[in-house]
Amino acid sequence: MSNSSYTPPQQATSNVSQTGRALSWNIFLSTYLPALIFALGAGIAVPAVPTLAKSFDVDFSVASGVVTAFLLGNLFGTIPSGWLIDRLGRRPVMIAGPLLTSLMAFLAAFAFSFPELLVLRFLDGIAAQMWLMARLAGISHHAPAQQRGKQVSWMFGMNNTGALAGPVLGGFIAGTWGPSAPFLAYGLLALIAFVPAFLFAADTPRNNPDVGSNGKDSKAPPLTAWEIIRPRLPYFGVALFAGLTRGPIMADLLHLYAAFTYHLGPQQIGYLATGAALLSLPIGFLAGWMMDQFGRKRTMVPGFSGVAVAMAALGLSTLIGLGFVWYTVLFFIAVALQALTGGSIQTVGADVAPPQARGRFLGLWRFTGQGGTTLSPIMFVAMSEYFGYPASFSLRHYRRRLWPPCSSAMSRKQVLQKHVSDVAYRDAASKHRKL
């Protein structure tokens, strides 16, 4: 591989100044707009997923496979996506993600069996992970530390904006043309989201083990997985338990629970999902500003604590037999608190990613967080199957007790990081890695 893949420090600094601002046309066209369109398509499919799963005459524990299959795809797509980003750059990965998503959505619309639907949802999860990791790699590379919180959270905010109209539209489409029709719309919008990303997204430098930090030939071996993880082990603990805490909400498993418990149809689920997106939209944008203004930890800990309390309250409401109105109120409270944590974990990952192995680090980082997010719904379903729904919700509350030791391990550097220049921070991270 030629040395042209190497970006000198001076050039990298210049690129950061040009493309690192949270509010710019470049960021809007390359990151925010594709996220908005992509999320609109995914939101249209949300109310159709539980309905399509029920159409195959399976019970709740089996139907939940449409959620866990997507999450497993997200999980197993992390490390390969990170390796591809380092070797090929993020642009090819970002291009391949929407194309694969579109193909899987079109095929899901014509799935003839439940196992076939599970396979397609698994591959869709891989495609979504490729898309997300490519965008995070770009933010980690181009954005200065004092802008990353806003960029990551506002990217997720655009996701919420797309999800705002998507579920209601998807419920209408499913109610009019059947549960398969929203997947056709999902596939079409994934293709549309591909266009601005293809035209405006900048690439990141490829990892060349023969090129050193000064741009000259170097025989230094690439970082091993343990060398990447060891200096950042407390952060990985935070990512794991964050995924365990908010997994059912992020996986839309509560929509599946509501469909079986309260017998909701696609339109009712669409209303719930749209209301959740409407509520979380301003909170998500505010969270990005708070992380850059006050520090990551001061935003994350209250948010995750609130999610745990809300999940415990949902368990209590189920145990004492409160009706759908109480479920709706507690559901929206949990969603609002979840929005406060929206882009926090990915922002921390972008903060501490080593420049020499950004893609592989993000792969390991997302694998850890997604592992918690994947295990959480599986545990939720298992607990509901053997002990009932109250035990499932209560498990999310007790999981929160594991959070304080991990969150307290986040050093004061994380809180003050917004005051450190991007170049200085990366130099400090490189020195920290060599210790």
Domain ranges of the chain: 22-205+228-434
**Which residues lie across from 70 on neighbouring strands?**
none
3-state helix, strand, coil split of the chain in percent (to 5) is 80, 0, 15
Residues 6+ apart with CB under 8 A from 239: 345, 348, 349, 365, 368, 369, 372
- This prediction has a pTM of 0.69
Task: Give the per-residue pLDDT at 428.
Answer: 42
Helix (H, G, I), strand (E, B) or coil at 7: coil
Residues 6+ apart with CB under 8 A from 434: none
Residue 42's alpha-carbon distances to 167, 182, 273, 311, in angstroms, are 9, 9, 12, 25
- Torsion sign, CA atoms 383, 387, 388, 392: negative
**Which residues lie across from 211 on neighbouring strands?**
217
pLDDT along the chain (435 residues), means of 10: 37 44 77 88 86 82 83 89 88 90 93 92 93 87 81 81 78 86 93 86 58 45 84 88 73 75 81 81 83 84 82 77 85 85 83 86 89 77 64 51 46 37 40 43
Interatomic CA distance for residues 167 and 50, integer angstroms? 12
Task: Give the per-residue pLDDT at 190.
Answer: 93
Interatomic CA distance for residues 360 and 300, integer angstroms? 25
Candidates 297, 302, 282, 284; CA nearest to 150 is 284
Helix (H, G, I), strand (E, B) or coil at 152: helix
Range list of H helices, 230-265: 233-250, 253-261
- For domain 22-205+228-434, say whether CATH 2.60.120.10 is its number: no
Task: Give the per-residue pLDDT at 377.
Answer: 72
Count CB-CB contacts under 10 A for residue 310.
23
Question: For residue 114, what are its two tokens?
Answer: 């439940």
Longest dimension (CA), the chain: 68
Residues 6+ apart with CB under 8 A from 128: 42, 70, 73, 74, 77, 97, 101
Count CB-CB contacts under 10 A for residue 318.
22
Task: Give the per-residue pLDDT at 245.
Answer: 73
